Amino acid sequence: QVQLVESGGGLVQSGGSLRLSCAASRTMYNMGWYRQAPGKQRELVATINVGGSTDYADSVKGRFTISRDNAKNTVYLQMGSLKPEDTAVYYCVAKDLLYSWSWGQGTQVTVSS
């Protein structure tokens, strides 16, 4: 079972930037980020595979960038042009092919208007 440790959440003003990091205990084929805002469904924000192929939710395209350092088993989410509607708990996820996502503990991101 993989362990995921997130860092980098916090409070930022609208229009600002924030970077999330997540270190996995071993190499995982797919890594990414989900988020969940109060009263809303969980949303897949972005994913990246070990080869560097990425996918983004439409709501964050052009503002967020996902990347990974395979040598460190770490995935990053660079968030820019943040909006109050980006406020949520962000969860790091990781999985190998044909398996389900493993989840981190979550980190709060709050964007003030």
Tell me the pLDDT tens digit for each residue of 12-63.
Answer: 999 999 999 999 999 999 999 999 999 999 999 999 999 999 999 999 999 9
- Alpha-carbon distances of 20 from 1, 65, 87, 97, 98, rounded to whole Å: 22, 10, 13, 24, 26
Tokens of 82: 């943040």
- pLDDT band for position 1 (cuts 50, 70, 90): confident
Q: State whether residue 86 is helix, strand or coil.
A: helix
In this predicted structure, what is the pLDDT of residue 50? 95
Mean pLDDT across the stretch 71-87?
A: 97
User: What mean pLDDT value characterizes the chain?
Assistant: 96
